[in-house]
Chains A and B, each alone.
Chain A
Amino acid sequence: MSGQTISEKIFSRAANKVIHAGEFAFASVDCAMANDITAPLAVQGFNEILAGQKEKKVWDPKKVVIVFDHQAPADSLNAANIHIMLRKFAKEQNIINYDVCEGICHQIMVEKGHVKPGELIVGADSHTCTYGALGAFATGIGSTDMASVLATGRLWFKAPQSIRFEISGRLPDRVCAKDVILHIIGDVGADGASYQACEYAGPTVKDMDISERMTLCNMAIEMGAKAGIVEPDKKTETYLKERISGFNFGPFRSDGDANYIQRREYDVSELEPQVACPHNVDNVKSVSKVEGTKIDQIFIGSCTNGRVDDLKVVADILEGNKIAEGVRVIIILASKDEYMKALKAGFIETFIGAGAAVGAPCCGPCMGGSFGLLGDGEVGLATSNRNFKGRQGSTKAFVYLCSPATAAASALRGKITDPRTI
Chain B
Amino acid sequence: MDKGNVWKFGDDIDTDAIIPGRYLTINDPKELAKHVFEGVRPEFARDVAKGDIIVVGKNFGCGSSREHAPLALKGAGIYCVIAKSFARIFFRNAINIGLPVLECEEADSISEGDALKIDFKKGIIENETKREKYQVASMPEFIMGIIGSDGLIKYTKALIKTQKRG
A residues near B, CB below 8 A?
22, 24, 26, 45, 48-51, 53, 55, 57, 59-60, 126, 140-145, 147-148, 151-153, 156, 191, 194-195, 224, 226
Contacts and interface: CB of A to CB of B under 8 A. Distances in A.
Contacts of B89: 140, 142
Contacts of B165: 55, 57, 59, 151-152
B97 interface: yes
Given A26-B142, A49-B157, A151-B165, A144 B152 contact: yes
Contacts of A156: 95, 142-143, 146
Contact of A50 (B92, B93, B152, B160): B160
A409 B50 CA distance: 60
Contacts, number: 73
Given A49-B157, A156-B143, 15 more contacts: A49-B160, A59-B165, A141-B92, A142-B92, A142-B93, A144-B96, A152-B156, A152-B159, A152-B160, A153-B166, A194-B87, A195-B88, A224-B62, A224-B88, A226-B88
A49 B153 contact: yes
A143 B153 CA distance: 11
Given A59-B166, A141-B92, A226-B88, A191 B62 contact: yes
A366 B165 CA distance: 38
Contacts of B127: none
Interface of B: 59, 62, 65, 67, 85, 87-89, 92-93, 95-97, 137, 140, 142-143, 146, 151-153, 156-157, 159-160, 165-166
Given A26-B142, A156-B142, A194-B85, A142 B153 contact: no
Given A59-B165, A144-B67, A224-B87, A151 B59 contact: no
A253 B140 CA distance: 28
Contacts of A145: 92, 96, 152
A15 B62 CA distance: 28
A144 B98 CA distance: 12
Contacts of A26: 142
Contact of B97 (A51, A59, A144, A148): A144
Contacts of A224: 62, 87-88
Given A48-B153, A49-B157, A194 B67 contact: no
Nearest to A196: B88
A53 B159 CA distance: 12
A147 B67 CA distance: 14
Contacts of A151: 156, 160, 165
